[in-house]
C-alpha cells in the first residue's frame, strides 16, 4: 500500500471545478440536540438532499467525465443495489453517455425504478451484489463498456473529496468531521481534501458493527475481507475496503469507530423528529456515533460536522426501522403478563397501566396454551412510553401491583 500514489491538491481542485457545477451544494444545518450532548457546535452536512439522494453522483460524475472520448462512446457499466446505481445512471445521462446497471433480483423496488428513470438500462442478475458485479464485469469484457467502481478508483475518491471542499467553505472553523464508511471512497475523499486544505481537522470514520471491515484491515495494514455481514445499513455494508481508499485512510484518518443496530435506528429517528430529515440507516451512522461515544472518545475539541451520506430508504423498510428506533429509544415497551382468568382481570391490568401514563398500542389476550394453568390467561402488550426512565417506571409499577412481567426485547 505504501507504493500507491496519493491524490494531490491539483486533482481535488480539478474535481471541484468539474463536479461543482453539476451537483447540488448541499446545506449544512445545526443540530442542537447533538450539540448539547457533545458540548460544542454540531452541524449536519445533508448529502441525503444531493441529486439522486446520496453523495454518490460526485464520484461517479468525476469518473465518467474524465473518460476519453473513445471510452465514452462504448458506454459505462456498474453493479449496485442502490445509491451507486442511481449515481452512475444520473451522471452518465447528464453527460450524454449510455449506462448499464446490474442489480440483484431482490433490489429495492424504489431504487430499481429510480435507476431506470435516471436513464440506465437495468438488468437484474443474481441474488447478491457479488453476482451482479460478476455479470457487470462480463458485460464490460464483451462490449468494451467501462466499469465504474463504487469506490476503488482515484477519480471516484477525488469526486467524493468535493464534500470536504464544500464543508470547509461552509464551516471554516470545523474541528472534527465524522463520516459514514463502507468501501471508503467518501471517507478517503474527505480526509484527503482536509489534509491539503485544513490539516488540523480530525476525521473519524463510522461503520456498522455488524459490517465492520475497517478496524481489522487497519490493524492488518491492508484490506481484509469479512467472512459475513448483517446490518440494516446496506449502504455501508461492504465486506472489504478498496485498495485506493485504504491507502489514503490509513495515512490520513484519525480513527474508525463502530455503532450497533439500535444506535443506527435511534439516529434515524432523531434525524426525522428533530431535524425533519429522511436519512437511510447508513446515512445516519455519523449521528449514531455522536449518540454512542463521548466527545473525549471521538477526540472532539471544537465544532463538529456529521455527514448524512444518503436518504434513499424504501418506505416499507422505513416503517419497520421507525418501529425499531422507537423501541431502541425506550418509546415502545413490549410485555407479556400472566393474569387470572376471571372477569375483570384484564380491565384491572389495563387500569394499572393507565395510571402509569403509558398508552396501549397493541394487545393480544390468550386463554389457552400449554404454559398456562387452568385459571390463567396470557396478555401480550405493546405500550407507548415517554423514554427509558418512563419505561422502567411502568415495569416497576406493574411488579409492585403483583404482576409477573416479562419484557420482550
- Is position 80 annotated as part of the catalytic site? no
User: Which residue out of 45, 54, 56, 217 is catalytically annotated?
Assistant: 56
The whole-angstrom separation of Cα 81 and Cα 402 is: 52
Alpha helix (H) ranges present in 171-301? 185-197, 214-220, 243-252, 261-274, 285-292, 295-298
- What stretches of 266-407 adopt beta strand conformation (E)? 304-308, 332-340, 359-366, 376-384, 405-407
Q: What's the helix, strand, coil split of the chain in %, to 5? A: 50, 20, 35
- Is position 54 annotated as part of the catalytic site? no
For residue 47, what are the CA distances in angstroms to 167, 186, 265, 384, 399? 11, 11, 18, 32, 47
User: Which residue out of 80, 132, 265, 309 is catalytically annotated?
Assistant: 309
- Residue 8 makes CB contacts below 8 A (sequence gap 6+) with 196
> 3-state DSSP call for residue 188?
helix
For residue 59, what are the CA distances in angstroms to 160, 164, 195, 225, 296? 5, 13, 19, 23, 32
Question: Comparing C-alpha atoms, which of 83, 62, 85, 19 is closest to residue 283?
Answer: 83
Residue pair 167/45 in contact (Cβ under 8 Å)? The answer is yes
The residue whose grid cell reads 449536519 is 44
Residue pair 277/44 in contact (Cβ under 8 Å)? The answer is yes
**Active site (catalytic) residues:** 56, 309
Amino acid at each position: 500500500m505504501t507504493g500507491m500514489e496519493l491524490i494531490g491538491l491539483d486533482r481535488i481542485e480539478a474535481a471541484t471545478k468539474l463536479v461543482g457545477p453539476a451537483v447540488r451544494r448541499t446545506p449544512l444545518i445545526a443540530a442542537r440536540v447533538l450539540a448539547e450532548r457533545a458540548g460544542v457546535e454540531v452541524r449536519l452536512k445533508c448529502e441525503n438532499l444531493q441529486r439522486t439522494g446520496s453523495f454518490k453522483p460526485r464520484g461517479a460524475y468525476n469518473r465518467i467525465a474524465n473518460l476519453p472520448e473513445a471510452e465514452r462512446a462504448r458506454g459505462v457499466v456498474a453493479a449496485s443495489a442502490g445509491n451507486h446505481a442511481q449515481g452512475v445512471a444520473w451522471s452518465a445521462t447528464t453527460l450524454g453517455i449510455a449506462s448499464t446497471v446490474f442489480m440483484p433480483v431482490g433490489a429495492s423496488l424504489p431504487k430499481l425504478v429510480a435507476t431506470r428513470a435516471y436513464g440506465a438500462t437495468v438488468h437484474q442478475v443474481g441474488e447478491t451484489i457479488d453476482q451482479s458485479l460478476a455479470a457487470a464485469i462480463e458485460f464490460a469484457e464483451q462490449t468494451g463498456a467501462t466499469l465504474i467502481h463504487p469506490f476503488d478508483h482515484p477519480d471516484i475518491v477525488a469526486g467524493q473529496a468535493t464534500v470536504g471542499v464544500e464543508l470547509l467553505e461552509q464551516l471554516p472553523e470545523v474541528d472534527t468531521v465524522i463520516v459514514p464508511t463502507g468501501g471508503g471512497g467518501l471517507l478517503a475523499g474527505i480526509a484527503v481534501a482536509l489534509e491539503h486544505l485544513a490539516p488540523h481537522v480530525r476525521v473519524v470514520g463510522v461503520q456498522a458493527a455488524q459490517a465492520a471491515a475497517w478496524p481489522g484491515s487497519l490493524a492488518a495494514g491492508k484490506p481484509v475481507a469479512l467472512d459475513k455481514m448483517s446490518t440494516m445499513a446496506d449502504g455501508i455494508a461492504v465486506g472489504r475496503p478498496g485498495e485506493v481508499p485504504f491507502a489514503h485512510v490509513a495515512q490520513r484518518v484519525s480513527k474508525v469507530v463502530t455503532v450497533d443496530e439500535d444506535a443506527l435506528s435511534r439516529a434515524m429517528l432523531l434525524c426525522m423528529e428533530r431535524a425533519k430529515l429522511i436519512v437511510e440507516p447508513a446515512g445516519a451512522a455519523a449521528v449514531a456515533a455522536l449518540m454512542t461515544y463521548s466527545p473525549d472518545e471521538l477526540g472532539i475539541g471544537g465544532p463538529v460536522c456529521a455527514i448524512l451520506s444518503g436518504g434513499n430508504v424504501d418506505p416499507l423498510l422505513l416503517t419497520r426501522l421507525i418501529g425499531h428506533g422507537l423501541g431502541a429509544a425506550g418509546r415502545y415497551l413490549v410485555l407479556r403478563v400472566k393474569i387470572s382468568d376471571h372477569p375483570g382481570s384484564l380491565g384491572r391490568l389495563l387500569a394499572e397501566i393507565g395510571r402509569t401514563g403509558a398508552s396501549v398500542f397493541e394487545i393480544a389476550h390468550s386463554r389457552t396454551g400449554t404454559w398456562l394453568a387452568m385459571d390463567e390467561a396470557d396478555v401480550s402488550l405493546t405500550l407507548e412510553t415517554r423514554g427509558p426512565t418512563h419505561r422502567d417506571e411502568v415495569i416497576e409499577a406493574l411488579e409492585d401491583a403483583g404482576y409477573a412481567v416479562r419484557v420482550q426485547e
